[in-house]
Structure 1
Amino acid sequence: MKHSEALFREDAQLRECGATLLRIDERGLLLDRTVFYPQGGGQAGDSGELLLPDGRVLVLADTRKGKDEGGRGGDEILHLPAAGQEALLAELSAGQPVSARINWERRFAHMRFHTATHLLCALVPQPVDGCSITAGYARLDFHMSEPLDKDALTAGLARLVAEAHPVSQRWISDAELDANPSLVRSMSVQPPRGSGRVRLLEIAGVDLQPCGGTHVSNTAEIGAVIVTKLEKKSAMTRRVVLGFAQEGEA
Protein backbone atom coordinates (compact mmCIF):
# COMPACT_ATOMS: atom_id res chain seq x y z
CA MET A 1 0.00 0.00 0.00
CA LYS A 2 1.14 3.52 -0.70
CA HIS A 3 1.70 5.82 2.25
CA SER A 4 -0.27 9.05 2.70
CA GLU A 5 1.53 11.69 4.77
CA ALA A 6 -0.99 12.62 7.48
CA LEU A 7 -0.30 16.30 8.11
CA PHE A 8 -3.17 16.59 10.61
CA ARG A 9 -1.31 14.38 13.08
CA GLU A 10 1.28 17.08 13.70
CA ASP A 11 -0.92 20.15 13.16
CA ALA A 12 -4.71 19.88 13.44
CA GLN A 13 -5.03 23.60 12.61
CA LEU A 14 -3.97 23.09 8.98
CA ARG A 15 -6.91 23.71 6.67
CA GLU A 16 -5.32 23.27 3.25
CA CYS A 17 -2.27 21.73 1.62
CA GLY A 18 -0.80 21.15 -1.79
CA ALA A 19 -0.58 17.51 -2.86
CA THR A 20 -0.13 15.13 -5.77
CA LEU A 21 -2.80 12.69 -6.84
CA LEU A 22 -1.27 9.21 -6.59
CA ARG A 23 -4.26 7.10 -7.61
CA ILE A 24 -7.93 7.34 -8.44
CA ASP A 25 -10.27 4.33 -8.58
CA GLU A 26 -13.56 3.05 -7.20
CA ARG A 27 -12.17 3.16 -3.66
CA GLY A 28 -11.51 6.90 -3.76
CA LEU A 29 -8.69 9.35 -4.38
CA LEU A 30 -5.27 8.82 -2.83
CA LEU A 31 -2.95 11.79 -2.29
CA ASP A 32 0.70 11.77 -1.29
CA ARG A 33 -0.13 14.11 1.63
CA THR A 34 -3.31 15.39 3.16
CA VAL A 35 -4.94 17.49 5.87
CA PHE A 36 -8.07 15.28 5.77
CA TYR A 37 -8.67 13.11 8.83
CA PRO A 38 -10.01 9.63 7.95
CA GLN A 39 -12.82 8.12 9.99
CA GLY A 40 -11.37 6.24 12.94
CA GLY A 41 -11.14 6.05 16.70
CA GLY A 42 -14.78 7.08 16.91
CA GLN A 43 -14.20 10.36 15.07
CA ALA A 44 -16.01 11.02 11.79
CA GLY A 45 -13.95 11.63 8.66
CA ASP A 46 -13.42 15.05 7.13
CA SER A 47 -15.27 16.44 4.14
CA GLY A 48 -14.11 19.30 1.90
CA GLU A 49 -12.84 19.77 -1.63
CA LEU A 50 -9.97 19.33 -4.03
CA LEU A 51 -9.00 22.40 -6.02
CA LEU A 52 -7.63 21.59 -9.47
CA PRO A 53 -4.99 23.72 -11.24
CA ASP A 54 -7.57 25.01 -13.76
CA GLY A 55 -9.81 26.33 -10.98
CA ARG A 56 -12.38 23.56 -10.98
CA VAL A 57 -13.43 22.01 -7.68
CA LEU A 58 -14.09 18.39 -6.78
CA VAL A 59 -16.33 18.05 -3.73
CA LEU A 60 -15.26 15.40 -1.20
CA ALA A 61 -17.98 13.89 0.97
CA ASP A 62 -15.91 11.77 3.37
CA THR A 63 -12.48 10.39 4.21
CA ARG A 64 -11.72 6.77 5.12
CA LYS A 65 -8.72 4.56 5.77
CA GLY A 66 -7.65 2.12 3.09
CA LYS A 67 -7.55 -1.57 3.91
CA ASP A 68 -4.53 -3.82 3.86
CA GLU A 69 -4.60 -7.39 2.54
CA GLY A 70 -5.97 -8.62 5.86
CA GLY A 71 -8.87 -6.20 5.73
CA ARG A 72 -7.41 -3.96 8.43
CA GLY A 73 -6.91 -0.22 8.23
CA GLY A 74 -3.68 0.69 6.47
CA ASP A 75 -1.65 3.83 5.83
CA GLU A 76 -3.70 4.92 2.83
CA ILE A 77 -6.10 7.82 3.37
CA LEU A 78 -8.88 7.68 0.79
CA HIS A 79 -10.86 10.79 -0.16
CA LEU A 80 -14.38 9.90 -1.25
CA PRO A 81 -15.98 12.17 -3.88
CA ALA A 82 -19.57 13.34 -3.56
CA ALA A 83 -22.08 11.89 -6.03
CA GLY A 84 -22.70 13.43 -9.44
CA GLN A 85 -19.10 14.30 -10.37
CA GLU A 86 -18.36 11.42 -12.74
CA ALA A 87 -17.41 13.67 -15.67
CA LEU A 88 -14.79 15.54 -13.66
CA LEU A 89 -13.46 12.36 -12.08
CA ALA A 90 -12.96 10.84 -15.53
CA GLU A 91 -10.54 13.64 -16.41
CA LEU A 92 -8.28 13.11 -13.39
CA SER A 93 -5.15 11.00 -13.50
CA ALA A 94 -2.19 10.10 -11.30
CA GLY A 95 0.51 12.73 -11.08
CA GLN A 96 -1.79 15.74 -11.14
CA PRO A 97 -1.16 18.50 -8.59
CA VAL A 98 -4.13 19.51 -6.44
CA SER A 99 -4.92 21.51 -3.33
CA ALA A 100 -6.81 19.70 -0.57
CA ARG A 101 -9.03 21.92 1.58
CA ILE A 102 -11.14 20.66 4.47
CA ASN A 103 -14.57 21.85 5.57
CA TRP A 104 -13.21 23.75 8.54
CA GLU A 105 -16.54 24.32 10.31
CA ARG A 106 -17.14 20.56 10.39
CA ARG A 107 -13.56 19.75 11.43
CA PHE A 108 -13.48 22.36 14.19
CA ALA A 109 -16.68 20.90 15.63
CA HIS A 110 -14.97 17.48 15.65
CA MET A 111 -11.94 18.98 17.39
CA ARG A 112 -14.04 20.70 20.06
CA PHE A 113 -16.11 17.60 20.78
CA HIS A 114 -13.11 15.25 20.73
CA THR A 115 -11.25 17.38 23.26
CA ALA A 116 -14.42 17.57 25.38
CA THR A 117 -14.57 13.77 25.53
CA HIS A 118 -11.11 13.80 27.09
CA LEU A 119 -12.41 16.16 29.76
CA LEU A 120 -15.29 13.78 30.30
CA CYS A 121 -12.80 10.93 30.80
CA ALA A 122 -11.19 12.96 33.56
CA LEU A 123 -14.57 13.53 35.23
CA VAL A 124 -15.60 9.87 34.91
CA PRO A 125 -12.46 7.80 35.67
CA GLN A 126 -13.83 4.55 34.25
CA PRO A 127 -12.88 2.47 31.17
CA VAL A 128 -14.46 3.56 27.89
CA ASP A 129 -16.12 0.87 25.76
CA GLY A 130 -17.64 3.00 23.00
CA CYS A 131 -17.17 6.39 21.38
CA SER A 132 -18.68 8.50 18.59
CA ILE A 133 -17.61 12.01 17.60
CA THR A 134 -19.52 13.93 14.93
CA ALA A 135 -20.09 17.58 14.11
CA GLY A 136 -23.46 17.50 15.88
CA TYR A 137 -22.80 15.51 19.03
CA ALA A 138 -20.33 13.27 20.84
CA ARG A 139 -20.92 10.27 23.06
CA LEU A 140 -18.87 8.06 25.33
CA ASP A 141 -19.94 4.71 26.77
CA PHE A 142 -18.38 4.03 30.17
CA HIS A 143 -17.93 0.54 31.59
CA MET A 144 -19.60 1.06 34.96
CA SER A 145 -22.78 0.35 36.88
CA GLU A 146 -23.02 3.45 39.06
CA PRO A 147 -25.43 6.23 38.02
CA LEU A 148 -24.09 9.56 36.76
CA ASP A 149 -25.31 13.08 37.47
CA LYS A 150 -26.11 15.12 34.36
CA ASP A 151 -25.87 18.55 35.99
CA ALA A 152 -22.66 17.70 37.84
CA LEU A 153 -20.97 16.53 34.64
CA THR A 154 -22.08 19.64 32.74
CA ALA A 155 -20.73 21.83 35.56
CA GLY A 156 -17.46 19.89 35.58
CA LEU A 157 -17.03 20.36 31.84
CA ALA A 158 -17.72 24.09 32.13
CA ARG A 159 -15.10 24.38 34.86
CA LEU A 160 -12.40 22.57 32.87
CA VAL A 161 -13.18 24.61 29.75
CA ALA A 162 -13.02 27.88 31.70
CA GLU A 163 -9.70 26.92 33.30
CA ALA A 164 -8.11 27.07 29.83
CA HIS A 165 -5.82 24.05 30.09
CA PRO A 166 -3.22 23.77 27.29
CA VAL A 167 -3.63 20.76 24.99
CA SER A 168 -0.54 19.18 23.44
CA GLN A 169 0.73 15.96 21.95
CA ARG A 170 3.89 13.93 22.03
CA TRP A 171 5.07 10.57 20.79
CA ILE A 172 6.20 7.58 22.83
CA SER A 173 7.49 4.20 21.74
CA ASP A 174 5.39 1.04 21.65
CA ALA A 175 7.57 -0.28 24.46
CA GLU A 176 6.88 2.78 26.63
CA LEU A 177 3.14 2.30 26.13
CA ASP A 178 3.37 -1.40 26.94
CA ALA A 179 5.21 -0.47 30.15
CA ASN A 180 2.39 1.93 31.10
CA PRO A 181 -0.86 0.08 30.31
CA SER A 182 -2.88 2.40 32.57
CA LEU A 183 -2.54 5.12 29.90
CA VAL A 184 -5.04 3.24 27.73
CA ARG A 185 -8.59 4.12 28.73
CA SER A 186 -10.47 2.62 25.79
CA MET A 187 -11.65 -0.98 25.82
CA SER A 188 -13.03 -0.88 22.27
CA VAL A 189 -10.32 0.97 20.31
CA GLN A 190 -6.71 0.11 21.04
CA PRO A 191 -3.82 2.43 20.08
CA PRO A 192 -2.20 1.38 16.81
CA ARG A 193 1.03 -0.47 17.37
CA GLY A 194 3.62 -1.63 14.89
CA SER A 195 4.94 1.68 13.55
CA GLY A 196 7.28 2.01 16.53
CA ARG A 197 5.56 4.99 18.13
CA VAL A 198 2.20 6.02 19.57
CA ARG A 199 0.82 9.54 19.93
CA LEU A 200 -0.17 10.74 23.40
CA LEU A 201 -2.71 13.53 23.85
CA GLU A 202 -2.16 15.59 27.01
CA ILE A 203 -4.48 18.13 28.58
CA ALA A 204 -2.21 19.72 31.16
CA GLY A 205 -3.16 18.63 34.66
CA VAL A 206 -6.33 16.90 33.42
CA ASP A 207 -5.87 13.95 31.07
CA LEU A 208 -3.15 11.90 29.36
CA GLN A 209 -3.92 9.00 27.02
CA PRO A 210 -3.10 7.67 23.55
CA CYS A 211 -5.22 9.29 20.84
CA GLY A 212 -4.88 9.72 17.09
CA GLY A 213 -7.72 12.22 16.63
CA THR A 214 -7.74 15.98 16.15
CA HIS A 215 -8.08 18.40 19.06
CA VAL A 216 -8.11 22.08 19.91
CA SER A 217 -4.96 23.59 21.43
CA ASN A 218 -6.59 24.86 24.63
CA THR A 219 -9.72 23.74 26.47
CA ALA A 220 -11.07 27.31 26.26
CA GLU A 221 -11.56 26.73 22.51
CA ILE A 222 -14.12 24.02 23.23
CA GLY A 223 -16.71 26.60 24.21
CA ALA A 224 -19.94 25.76 25.98
CA VAL A 225 -20.75 22.04 25.94
CA ILE A 226 -23.46 20.32 27.93
CA VAL A 227 -24.53 16.78 28.73
CA THR A 228 -27.71 16.35 26.69
CA LYS A 229 -28.50 12.77 27.67
CA LEU A 230 -27.53 10.01 30.08
CA GLU A 231 -28.51 6.43 29.22
CA LYS A 232 -28.19 3.07 30.90
CA LYS A 233 -27.33 0.89 27.90
CA SER A 234 -26.74 -2.28 29.90
CA ALA A 235 -26.00 -3.40 33.44
CA MET A 236 -22.38 -2.32 32.97
CA THR A 237 -22.65 0.50 30.41
CA ARG A 238 -23.52 4.16 31.03
CA ARG A 239 -23.73 6.40 27.97
CA VAL A 240 -23.03 10.14 28.12
CA VAL A 241 -24.06 12.29 25.14
CA LEU A 242 -22.60 15.78 24.66
CA GLY A 243 -23.90 18.69 22.64
CA PHE A 244 -22.96 22.31 22.09
CA ALA A 245 -24.94 24.61 24.38
CA GLN A 246 -27.49 26.82 22.69
CA GLU A 247 -27.88 30.44 23.72
CA GLY A 248 -29.20 30.55 27.26
CA GLU A 249 -28.11 26.99 28.12
CA ALA A 250 -24.50 27.61 29.07
Structure 2
Amino acid sequence: MTELLFRDDAYLTEAPGQVTALTDRGGVVLDASIFYPTGGGQPGDSGRLTWDGGSMQVITAVKGEGDEIVLVPAEGATLPPVGTALYQHLDWERRYALMKIHTALHLLSVVIPLPVTGGQIAEEQGRLDFDMPEAPEDKQALEDALNALIARDLEVSETWITEAELDANPNLVKTMSVQPPRGAGRVRLVRIGQGSEQVDLQPCGGTHVRRSGEIGRIRFGKIEKKSRQNRRVRIELAD
Protein backbone atom coordinates (compact mmCIF):
# COMPACT_ATOMS: atom_id res chain seq x y z
CA MET A 1 0.00 0.00 0.00
CA THR A 2 1.23 3.49 -0.91
CA GLU A 3 0.32 6.32 1.46
CA LEU A 4 -1.43 9.04 -0.58
CA LEU A 5 0.38 12.19 0.50
CA PHE A 6 -1.21 14.23 -2.32
CA ARG A 7 -4.63 13.55 -0.83
CA ASP A 8 -3.64 14.90 2.57
CA ASP A 9 -1.98 17.97 1.03
CA ALA A 10 -2.27 18.72 -2.70
CA TYR A 11 0.27 21.56 -2.26
CA LEU A 12 3.06 19.27 -1.04
CA THR A 13 5.89 19.60 -3.56
CA GLU A 14 8.65 17.59 -1.84
CA ALA A 15 8.68 14.67 0.56
CA PRO A 16 10.88 11.78 1.66
CA GLY A 17 10.07 8.22 0.64
CA GLN A 18 11.41 4.69 0.52
CA VAL A 19 11.36 2.22 -2.35
CA THR A 20 9.19 -0.78 -1.47
CA ALA A 21 9.12 -2.53 -4.87
CA LEU A 22 10.19 -2.44 -8.50
CA THR A 23 7.61 -3.68 -11.00
CA ASP A 24 8.17 -6.11 -13.86
CA ARG A 25 7.76 -3.18 -16.27
CA GLY A 26 10.41 -1.07 -14.60
CA GLY A 27 8.22 1.11 -12.40
CA VAL A 28 9.07 2.27 -8.89
CA VAL A 29 6.74 1.86 -5.91
CA LEU A 30 7.26 3.99 -2.80
CA ASP A 31 5.83 3.71 0.69
CA ALA A 32 4.27 7.18 0.28
CA SER A 33 3.66 9.33 -2.79
CA ILE A 34 3.21 13.01 -3.59
CA PHE A 35 2.59 11.95 -7.22
CA TYR A 36 -1.07 11.65 -8.25
CA PRO A 37 -1.68 8.60 -10.48
CA THR A 38 -3.62 8.87 -13.75
CA GLY A 39 -7.33 8.55 -13.07
CA GLY A 40 -10.69 10.28 -13.29
CA GLY A 41 -9.65 12.21 -16.38
CA GLN A 42 -6.62 13.72 -14.62
CA PRO A 43 -3.15 12.73 -15.91
CA GLY A 44 -0.49 11.39 -13.60
CA ASP A 45 2.09 13.73 -12.10
CA SER A 46 5.68 14.13 -13.23
CA GLY A 47 8.85 15.13 -11.38
CA ARG A 48 11.98 13.40 -10.13
CA LEU A 49 13.44 11.24 -7.38
CA THR A 50 16.83 11.91 -5.82
CA TRP A 51 18.94 9.77 -3.50
CA ASP A 52 22.57 9.50 -2.45
CA GLY A 53 24.48 8.97 -5.67
CA GLY A 54 21.53 8.98 -8.05
CA SER A 55 18.38 10.54 -9.47
CA MET A 56 15.49 9.46 -11.68
CA GLN A 57 13.09 11.46 -13.83
CA VAL A 58 9.42 10.53 -13.26
CA ILE A 59 7.42 10.97 -16.45
CA THR A 60 4.06 9.94 -14.98
CA ALA A 61 2.41 7.99 -12.18
CA VAL A 62 -0.14 5.21 -12.61
CA LYS A 63 -2.19 2.94 -10.37
CA GLY A 64 -0.61 -0.41 -9.63
CA GLU A 65 -1.87 -3.51 -7.88
CA GLY A 66 -4.19 -2.89 -4.98
CA ASP A 67 -3.41 0.48 -3.41
CA GLU A 68 0.03 0.86 -4.96
CA ILE A 69 1.12 3.87 -7.01
CA VAL A 70 3.74 3.13 -9.66
CA LEU A 71 6.15 5.86 -10.76
CA VAL A 72 7.13 5.50 -14.41
CA PRO A 73 10.77 6.47 -15.13
CA ALA A 74 12.12 8.17 -18.24
CA GLU A 75 13.56 5.74 -20.78
CA GLY A 76 17.01 4.52 -19.82
CA ALA A 77 16.84 5.84 -16.27
CA THR A 78 18.70 4.14 -13.44
CA LEU A 79 16.22 2.86 -10.85
CA PRO A 80 16.77 3.13 -7.10
CA PRO A 81 17.09 -0.34 -5.49
CA VAL A 82 14.40 -1.64 -3.15
CA GLY A 83 14.93 -0.19 0.32
CA THR A 84 16.51 3.05 -0.93
CA ALA A 85 15.64 6.15 1.10
CA LEU A 86 15.08 9.05 -1.27
CA TYR A 87 13.38 12.37 -1.82
CA GLN A 88 10.46 13.12 -4.13
CA HIS A 89 10.28 16.36 -6.12
CA LEU A 90 7.01 17.24 -7.86
CA ASP A 91 6.75 19.16 -11.15
CA TRP A 92 4.70 21.77 -9.31
CA GLU A 93 3.91 24.17 -12.15
CA ARG A 94 2.34 21.36 -14.16
CA ARG A 95 0.41 19.98 -11.18
CA TYR A 96 -0.89 23.41 -10.18
CA ALA A 97 -2.18 24.03 -13.69
CA LEU A 98 -3.97 20.66 -13.56
CA MET A 99 -5.47 21.57 -10.19
CA LYS A 100 -6.83 24.83 -11.59
CA ILE A 101 -8.40 23.14 -14.60
CA HIS A 102 -9.86 20.29 -12.53
CA THR A 103 -11.52 22.70 -10.10
CA ALA A 104 -12.78 24.86 -12.98
CA LEU A 105 -14.41 21.78 -14.55
CA HIS A 106 -16.32 21.15 -11.33
CA LEU A 107 -17.65 24.70 -11.57
CA LEU A 108 -18.43 24.22 -15.27
CA SER A 109 -20.76 21.39 -14.23
CA VAL A 110 -22.55 23.95 -12.03
CA VAL A 111 -22.92 26.49 -14.85
CA ILE A 112 -24.16 23.74 -17.18
CA PRO A 113 -26.33 21.57 -14.87
CA LEU A 114 -26.62 18.60 -17.22
CA PRO A 115 -25.38 14.99 -16.88
CA VAL A 116 -21.66 14.66 -17.69
CA THR A 117 -20.81 11.87 -20.13
CA GLY A 118 -17.02 12.30 -20.19
CA GLY A 119 -14.14 14.59 -19.39
CA GLN A 120 -10.43 15.21 -19.72
CA ILE A 121 -7.92 17.43 -17.93
CA ALA A 122 -4.71 18.85 -19.39
CA GLU A 123 -2.22 21.44 -18.18
CA GLU A 124 -3.79 24.52 -19.76
CA GLN A 125 -7.19 23.28 -20.84
CA GLY A 126 -9.88 20.74 -20.13
CA ARG A 127 -13.24 19.59 -21.38
CA LEU A 128 -16.49 18.05 -20.25
CA ASP A 129 -18.93 16.18 -22.45
CA PHE A 130 -22.56 16.80 -21.60
CA ASP A 131 -25.83 15.08 -22.37
CA MET A 132 -26.84 18.20 -24.33
CA PRO A 133 -29.04 17.60 -27.41
CA GLU A 134 -29.18 21.29 -28.32
CA ALA A 135 -26.28 23.74 -28.43
CA PRO A 136 -26.38 26.54 -25.82
CA GLU A 137 -27.91 29.76 -27.10
CA ASP A 138 -25.32 32.07 -25.53
CA LYS A 139 -21.80 30.71 -25.01
CA GLN A 140 -20.55 34.06 -23.73
CA ALA A 141 -23.18 34.07 -20.99
CA LEU A 142 -21.91 30.66 -19.82
CA GLU A 143 -18.31 31.90 -19.81
CA ASP A 144 -19.33 34.99 -17.82
CA ALA A 145 -21.24 32.84 -15.32
CA LEU A 146 -18.26 30.52 -14.82
CA ASN A 147 -15.86 33.41 -14.26
CA ALA A 148 -18.31 35.00 -11.82
CA LEU A 149 -18.30 31.79 -9.76
CA ILE A 150 -14.50 31.66 -9.82
CA ALA A 151 -14.25 35.31 -8.76
CA ARG A 152 -16.30 34.60 -5.61
CA ASP A 153 -13.13 32.96 -4.26
CA LEU A 154 -15.07 30.05 -2.78
CA GLU A 155 -13.37 27.64 -0.40
CA VAL A 156 -12.67 24.17 -1.82
CA SER A 157 -12.73 21.41 0.80
CA GLU A 158 -13.36 17.71 1.17
CA THR A 159 -15.52 15.42 3.25
CA TRP A 160 -16.09 11.68 3.32
CA ILE A 161 -19.25 9.59 3.26
CA THR A 162 -19.84 5.87 3.33
CA GLU A 163 -20.60 3.97 0.15
CA ALA A 164 -24.07 3.29 1.57
CA GLU A 165 -24.64 7.04 1.98
CA LEU A 166 -23.60 7.59 -1.63
CA ASP A 167 -26.00 4.88 -2.78
CA ALA A 168 -28.75 6.71 -0.89
CA ASN A 169 -27.83 9.98 -2.65
CA PRO A 170 -27.14 9.01 -6.29
CA ASN A 171 -27.72 12.60 -7.44
CA LEU A 172 -24.26 13.45 -6.04
CA VAL A 173 -22.68 11.61 -8.99
CA LYS A 174 -22.65 13.90 -12.03
CA THR A 175 -20.52 11.74 -14.31
CA MET A 176 -22.33 9.05 -16.25
CA SER A 177 -19.15 7.51 -17.68
CA VAL A 178 -16.91 7.36 -14.59
CA GLN A 179 -18.12 6.14 -11.21
CA PRO A 180 -16.37 6.99 -7.91
CA PRO A 181 -13.82 4.42 -6.75
CA ARG A 182 -15.31 1.87 -4.39
CA GLY A 183 -14.07 -0.92 -2.20
CA ALA A 184 -12.64 1.06 0.72
CA GLY A 185 -16.05 1.53 2.35
CA ARG A 186 -16.03 5.31 1.99
CA VAL A 187 -16.06 7.89 -0.79
CA ARG A 188 -14.37 11.31 -0.91
CA LEU A 189 -16.55 14.30 -1.76
CA VAL A 190 -15.16 17.64 -2.97
CA ARG A 191 -17.17 20.65 -1.82
CA ILE A 192 -16.95 24.12 -3.36
CA GLY A 193 -18.31 26.82 -1.07
CA GLN A 194 -19.43 26.49 2.53
CA GLY A 195 -22.89 26.68 4.10
CA SER A 196 -25.23 28.93 2.15
CA GLU A 197 -22.32 29.63 -0.22
CA GLN A 198 -22.00 25.99 -1.31
CA VAL A 199 -22.34 25.63 -5.08
CA ASP A 200 -21.07 22.10 -5.71
CA LEU A 201 -20.59 18.77 -3.95
CA GLN A 202 -19.56 15.65 -5.86
CA PRO A 203 -17.38 12.53 -5.52
CA CYS A 204 -13.81 13.05 -6.76
CA GLY A 205 -10.37 11.62 -6.00
CA GLY A 206 -8.37 14.29 -7.84
CA THR A 207 -6.37 17.31 -6.71
CA HIS A 208 -7.87 20.80 -6.46
CA VAL A 209 -6.96 24.34 -5.50
CA ARG A 210 -7.89 25.57 -2.01
CA ARG A 211 -9.97 28.50 -3.25
CA SER A 212 -11.67 29.13 -6.58
CA GLY A 213 -10.00 32.52 -6.94
CA GLU A 214 -6.68 30.76 -7.57
CA ILE A 215 -7.99 29.52 -10.92
CA GLY A 216 -7.96 32.97 -12.55
CA ARG A 217 -9.99 33.82 -15.62
CA ILE A 218 -11.26 31.01 -17.83
CA ARG A 219 -11.95 31.23 -21.55
CA PHE A 220 -14.38 28.97 -23.42
CA GLY A 221 -13.16 27.16 -26.49
CA LYS A 222 -15.19 25.22 -29.00
CA ILE A 223 -18.50 23.60 -28.17
CA GLU A 224 -18.51 20.56 -30.43
CA LYS A 225 -21.32 18.19 -31.30
CA LYS A 226 -20.03 14.67 -30.62
CA SER A 227 -23.25 12.73 -31.19
CA ARG A 228 -26.98 13.26 -31.34
CA GLN A 229 -27.15 13.69 -27.58
CA ASN A 230 -23.64 14.84 -26.64
CA ARG A 231 -21.73 18.09 -26.85
CA ARG A 232 -18.15 18.74 -25.79
CA VAL A 233 -17.40 22.00 -23.97
CA ARG A 234 -13.74 23.06 -23.83
CA ILE A 235 -12.25 25.59 -21.43
CA GLU A 236 -8.73 26.98 -21.02
CA LEU A 237 -6.76 29.13 -18.59
CA ALA A 238 -6.79 32.71 -19.84
CA ASP A 239 -4.46 34.26 -17.26
TM-score of the alignment, normalized to the shorter chain, above 0.5: yes
Deviating 4+ runs (over 2 angstroms): none
Match of 1:160 among 149, 161, 184: 149
Partner of 1:242: 235
**Code of the aligned partner of 2:6:** F
Partner of 2:188: 199
1:142 to 1:27, Cα distance in 2 relative to 1, 3 A = farther
Q: Residue 93 of structure 1: CA displacement?
A: 1.3
Structure 1: distance between partners of 2:109 and 2:58: 32
Match of 1:65 among 60, 63, 71: 63
Specify every segment of 5 or more residues in structure 1 that has no aligned partner in the other structure, as ranges: 68-73
Paired positions, count: 233
Contact residue 27 and residue 78 of structure 1 kept, 8 A:
no
Partner of 2:9: 11
Q: What is the DSSP-based 3-state SS (H/G/I as helix, E as strand, rest coil) of the residue aligned with 1:80? A: strand
Structure 2: distance between partners of 1:167 and 1:146: 31
Match of 2:20 among 1, 16, 22: 22
Q: Residue 27 of structure 1: CA displacement?
A: 4.5
Match of 2:67 among 56, 75, 97: 75
Contact residue 48 and residue 88 of structure 2 kept, 8 A:
yes
Identical aligned residues as a percent = 49
Please list, as runs of the form range in 1=range in 2, the aligned pairs for 1:210-225 lying within 5 A after superposition.
210-225=203-218
Partner of 1:70: none
Q: Residue 156 of structure 1: CA displacement?
A: 1.1
Specify every segment of 5 or more residues in structure 2 that has no aligned partner in the other structure, as ranges: none
Structure 1: distance between partners of 2:139 and 2:75: 41
Please list, as runs of the form range in 1=range in 2, the aligned pairs for 1:102-121 lying within 5 A after superposition.
102-121=90-109
CA RMSD of aligned residues (A): 1.1
Deviation track 1:87-120 (CA, whole Å, cap 9, x = no partner) reads: x22xx31111011111000000110000000110
**Code of the aligned partner of 2:82:** A
Q: What is the DSSP-based 3-state SS (H/G/I as helix, E as strand, rest coil) of the residue aligned with 1:75? A: coil
Contact residue 26 and residue 73 of structure 2 kept, 8 A:
no
TM-score (structure 1 length as normaliser): 0.90
